[in-house]
Amino acid sequence: MSSKVVNPKTKRSRYPRTVVQKLKSVGQAIEPNLPVNGVSGADKPSSNNAYCPHWSHDDLISGVRNGTLLSGNLRINPKNFEDGYVKHPAGDADVYISTLASRNRALPNDIVAVMLEPKRNWRVFDSFIDEATMREIGDSNQKKKLRYVTLEQFLKIQPMGLEHLIGSCLAEEIAQDLDSPSDPTDSSSSEQDVQSHKAWWAIIQRTGHVVGILQSLHSRAFIGNLQIPSNFQTPKKVSPKGDQNNNQSEAIRTDPVLSNWKNAVLIPTDTRLPRVFIPREACPEGFLKNPETYKNVRFIGRITEWFDSNMFPKGELLRELSCDSSTLIQDETDRILVGAGFIWGVEAAFQFPDIVTESVRKSVDDVNAIREKDFIFRKDFRKYCVFTIDPSTARDLDDALHIRQLEPSEIEKLECSGYRNAFYEVGVHIADVSYFVKPDSPVDKEAASRATSIYLVQLCVPMLPRLLCEEQCSLNPGEDKLAFSVVFTVTEDAKILTTWFGRTFIRSCCKLSYEDAQEFIDHPDRDWSSNEFVKVDQPYTVMDICKNVLKLNDLATKMRKSRFHSGALRLDQVKSTFSLNNENGLPLGIAPYISKQSNWLIEEWMLAANKSVAERLAKYLPDSAFLRRHPPPSVKQLTEVSSSLNVAGININIDSAGSIQDSICREAGCNVEVGYHYSDALVKLCDDFMSNVLIHDGDLIEEMQKVDLNSVVQKEKLLLKTLEHEARLLVTVALLTKTMNLAVYFCLGLLPSELSPSHYALNMQLYTHFTSPIRRYADVIVHRQLSATLAKEESDPEKADWYLSTAFPKEMTPVELQQQAEVCNSKKLSARLAGEESAELFFVLFVKETGPFNEVCAVTSVLDRSFDVLILSCGLTKRVYLQNLNLKSYEFVPPKTGMGKVVESGKLCLLWNSDLLENFNIKGSDSADCIQNITVGSKTTLSSCGCFYMEIKVFDVVRCRVSVDSCSSIDDASQCGRQNTLLPKLLVTLLRSTCKECHVV
C-alpha cells in the first residue's frame, strides 16, 4: 500500500440507521467524515472486512521517516477498551484512537504506526462543550454512539466557542484548514492572545487510526476463562422420565443445540484485550462434556492469527492454571509473569535455553583465556579500598565505589592543567557485562528480548543467567572482577573537575548493606575497630570503610543540594516492603520503605556517572547515542491538577520541575535542597491515630464505656492535625505523579528537532543508564557505545581493537537502536507493573492471613458512586464503593468548573443508617445545604453530634476497614460469580466516627 496521505473525502462513511435518524431529528447534516466507526476516508475497511489491511513494513518505515505517520507504544484504557492512545512527538497531548476498528488489531504496548485524521474529526474535550451543544448534537445515547464531539460539529453549533477559548486568529486558521491533519500554528496570534487564552491542544485532541504494527511487543498470551458462545449457553437439560440419577453432563454433551458450536470463547481477564476464539477440537475433553464445571478455571491462551476479515482473533490454549489453594502464591505469580511476557510462568522464567547456557559458558572460558591480555589494557584498582553498598538481599552486585585523597603531586599536576582545588578521586566501578555478553550471541539476543530483570516481592526474574549475574559479573567481595569505570577528580565542595573512562580490574574488600552504611552515617564518632559487624578484607579495616563512607556521603550530600537548588524534582510515593515467612512464603508484616542518606549516597554517584557517560556519547556519537529522556508532563493534566490543588489551598507553581519542587517543599516546610520525603514515623502516626479513635464497629463499641472521651478527643485532634499535613503532601505528590510522563530510552539521531533530549525531573540536558548492566539491557548497549568512543580516541591500535571487540561488530543504525529502545521502554513498564501487582498480591495475602484491620487513609479522588483512598501506611490506592456502606442515602456534588479549571471541589454527602437519629441539628450551612438534597426517610432525623452525616472530599483523612471479601475459595467464588482468580478480592470500606451521644451498644 502506498504511504502517501489519502484524501479523507474519497470515501463516504456509512452510518447506522438510528444514527441517521437522530442526526436528522436535531437538524444535523450527515457528513462523510464523522468518526462513528473510528476510521474515515480511504482507510476504512472494505464491506467484507472488519479491519483495514496493514501497510507493508517498508511503507510503514517510509511513512514514519517522512512524517506521514507517527509511531509509538499503544496504550488502551482498561476501563473502556475502545479508547486507545499514542503519544504525539510534540509531547503536549496524546493522539486519541477511538474504537477497535481504528486500533486495527494492535494490542497494548505494541509499537504502532498511526495516521492522523483531518482536523474536522479531531475530538473536542467534553469539559469545553456546553449543555446546549450536547442537546443539539443528540441525547446521551446518540453521544455514546458517536463517542465524542468532533471539531466540525463543535464549530457548526458553537461557532464562537473556539474563538473564546483559543483566540480569534488561531480559531480562524483552524476553521479554514479542517481537511488537513497538520497542527495549527500560533504564528499569527498576538502575544495578548497567547497569554489570555488556552493552548489549542488543551481544548482539541488529535485523532488517528493505526495503519500497521511496527513491532509486536505484546506477547499475545493472556489469562482468561473459557466459555461456549453465548447463544449456546442455555441448552435444555431434560432427563428421561424415571431416571433421577441420569448424568447431567451426558445430557449436556448429547444436546443437539450445544453440540453445534465450533469455537469456544476465551475471555481475557485483562479488559484491554479482545475475546479469542478457541477451536472446539482444541478444548479440554472435560469442557466438551460439561462447560459449567470450567466456569472458574483459568487458562493461559495465545492469539495465533487475526485476519482483517475477522472481528476477533483465533487462538490456542497453552495450559491451565492450578486451582490448588496450597500453591496460591506460585499460581498468582505465574499470572503476573504471563502479563510480563513469560508465558510459561515462574519456573520457565528462571530457565534459559540450552543454546544460551552454552553461549555463557563459552564466553566465560574465552574471557578467562585472555586474562593476561586484560592485565595489559585494564587499569588496576585492586589495591584500592573498593566496596559495594546494596540492599541486604541483593545477589547481583553491579556497582562499587572507592574514594581517596589525592597526593600533592597529583594536585599540582592538575593545577598545571587548569583544574584548581582538586582534592579527591572517586571511582564508580560498574560490572563489565558487555565483556562477557558479545553482540548477536545467543545470550545477547535473550537479554535483548528480556530487556530487564523483574523484581517481585519474593523473587527476582533475572535478565541474565545466574552464572553471569550472580557469579562472573557480580562484584562480590574478595574476588578479582572486571569493571567498566568512571573516575572523577573532585573538589572538597563536590565539584567534578575531570572524568576518566575505561576498563578496570577491581577487588571489593567489603559488601555493605544500606543499613550498614547508614550506621556509619548515624554514628560517625563511634569506635568501629572493636565492632566487626561487617567483614572487611585486609589490609583494610571497618574504620577505613566507615571513613570512606562518610567522605562519599559528605560529597553526595553537597551534590544533592546543588542538584535540587538547580531545579531538579523528586516525587516520592510510599513504597511497601514485606517480611516473609521462610517456610511458606506468606507475608508476616508490611511497612513503608524509608530512604535514608545511604540510599541517596549511591543515587548521587550513579547519577553523576550516568550523566558523564551520556555527555560523552552525545559528543562522539551524535547520530546513534543511546540516551534516556524524561519528557515534560502533560500540560493539560498538570494544569487541571494544579487548579484542583489550588482550590484545596495548595498552590503549586507548575512553570518548571524546579518550581514544582519549591512548591512541594514550601508546603512540607522543608529545605528545597533536601527535598520532601514522607515521614519515617508515618506508620506510628497511623497506629496512634487508630488506637485513639472511636469508630462505629461492632467489636469496639463496648469499649467506649471505659474511655475518657474528653482526653480521647483532644489527643485525636493533635494526631489528626499531624496526619492531615502528611496526607495533604502524599496526595499532592500522588496527583502530580499522575501527570508525569514516563522517562524513555531513545536514539539521539532520531529525536525530532522540536523535542528536547533533556531529563525533566533530573533537570539534566543529557542522561543515560550506564550503572546497572546486570539487570538492564539498555546499559549493555551504552557500555558498547562507550567502548566504541574509547576506541576512537585510543592512540594504541591494539588497545583500540581491544575496545572495539566488545562494541557492535557493525554499527547499529539509528532505526535499529530506536526499535531496541522501544523494547526496553515497554519491558521496563511491564516489569514495573509486575512489581506493583506482586506488592498488591502480598498485601491481599497479608490481610487474608491477619484478618480485617483498620487503616488511616487519605481521599485522592471523588466519583459519583465511589471514592479512591490512599492507604497511608503502605502506599496502596484502593476504591471505596458506596454500595458496600450502610448508608441511608447519598448525594454526589460534582466539581464546579469555569474555563476548563476547577473552581470548587466535588464531594460526596453521606447519610448513614441508624434507628436512633433524633434531633435534626447539623451545624454549618454547608452541611445543612447538602442534607436538604439527600433523601431522608420521613421518620429519620439527625443526632445533634452529626456523626451520621459525612462529607467526603479530596485530601480528607478517613478511617477505613481493610478486609477480603467472602469469596475466599473456589466454591465461594462460584457463588459470587467471580471467575478470574483464586485470590480473594480486597475490600476497603469507610468507617463512621461515633461518640457517646449516638453510639449503639
| Domains located in the chain, CATH noted | 17-215 (2.40.50.690), 221-238+245-350 (2.40.50.700), 354-631+744-836 (no CATH), 638-740+851-990 (2.40.50.140)
Residue 139: the pLDDT is 53
Give the pLDDT of residue 937: 35
Q: Which pLDDT band holds residue 967 (cuts at 50, 70, 90)?
A: low
- Look at 31-40, 87-96, 485-494, 689-698 and tell me which has the smallest mean pLDDT: 31-40
- pLDDT score recorded for residue 249: 43
Q: What is the pLDDT of residues 502-530, one digit of tens each?
A: 999 999 999 999 999 999 999 998 888 76
Query: How many residues would you count in the chain?
Result: 1001
Please choose, from the candidates 277, 280, 270, the residue with its C-alpha nearest in 3D space to the C-alpha of residue 219.
270
End-to-end CA distance of the chain: 76
- Ramachandran assignment for 579, one of left (phi > 0), alpha (psi -120 to 50 degrees), beta (any other): beta
Cα atoms found within 13 Å of the Cα of residue 24, Cβ hemisphere only? 7
Percent of the chain with pLDDT over 70: 80
User: Lowest-confidence range among 13-27, 178-192, 829-843?
Assistant: 13-27
pLDDT band at 759 (very low <50, low <70, confident <90, very high): very high
* Residue for grid cell 520532601: 676
Residue 995 has pLDDT above 50, yes or no: yes
Mean pLDDT of 882-893: 92
According to DSSP, the residues that pair with 114 across neighbouring strands are 70, 210
Q: Extract the runs of DSSP E, i.e. beta strands, from 443-492.
A: 454-455, 460-461, 480-491
| Average pLDDT score over residue span 474-489 | 97
| Percent of residues in the chain assigned helix, strand, coil, to nearest 5 | 40, 20, 40
> Around Cβ 27, how many Cβ atoms within 10 Å?
8
pLDDT of residue 700: 47
Tell me the angle at which helices 777-793 and 797-804 cross, rounded to the nearest 10 degrees: 160
Rounded distance between C-alpha atoms, residue 869 and residue 880, angstroms: 7
**Pick the residue with more confidence: 753 or 793?**
793
Q: Beta strand pairing status for 399-405 and 422-431? A: antiparallel
Mean of per-residue pLDDT scores for the chain: 83
When comparing pLDDT for 11 and 310, which is higher?
Answer: 310
Q: Give CA separation, 457 vs 331, 510, 842, 843, 925, in Å.
A: 14, 26, 8, 10, 49
- pLDDT at residue 251, rounded to an integer: 42
Residue 264, pLDDT score: 95
| Confidence category of residue 692, pLDDT binned at 50, 70, 90 | low
Nearest CA to 573 out of 397, 832, 952 is that of 832
Which of the pair, 186 or 393, is modelled with greater confidence?
393
More confident call, 921 vs 364: 364
pLDDT at residue 968 is higher than 60:
no
**What are 626's three cell numbers?**
543511546
Residue with cell 483531518: 118
Cα separation, 30 vs 33, in Å, equals 9
Copy the grid coordinates of residue 616: 560523552
Residue 447, C-beta contacts closer than 8 angstroms, at least 6 positions apart: 437, 463, 464, 777, 780
H helix or E strand, kind and range, residue 338: helix 328-339
Nearest C-alpha neighbor of 853 from the set 961, 958, 959, 957: 961
Evaluate whether 613 touches 770 at the Cβ level (below 8 Å): yes
Q: Give the least confident one: 71-80, 580-589, 767-776, 937-946.
A: 937-946
pLDDT of 193 reads: 55
The residue among 509, 503, 345, 353 whose CA lies nearest residue 433 is 503
pLDDT at 4 (0 to 100): 35
The model's confidence at residue 681, banded by pLDDT at 50, 70 and 90, is confident
Residues 897-946 have pLDDT tens digits of 776 677 888 999 999 887 544 443 433 334 444 444 444 333 334 555 66
pLDDT digits (tens, 9 = 90+) for 399-447: 999 999 999 999 999 999 999 999 999 999 999 999 999 999 999 999 9
The highest-confidence range among 4-18, 41-55, 153-167, 661-675, by mean pLDDT, is 661-675
Q: Which of 97, 72, 70, 71 is nearest to 83 (CA)?
A: 97
Helix (H, G, I), strand (E, B) or coil at 80: coil
Strand (E) or helix (H) holding 401: strand 399-405
When mean pLDDT is compared over 203-207, 236-240, 931-935, the highest value belongs to 203-207
At 352, the pLDDT band (50, 70, 90 cuts) reads very high
Question: 465: cis peptide before it, omega within 30°?
Answer: no
User: Mean pLDDT over residues 813-829, rounded?
Assistant: 91
Instruction: Report the range of poorest mean pLDDT among 16-25, 371-380, 531-540.
Output: 16-25
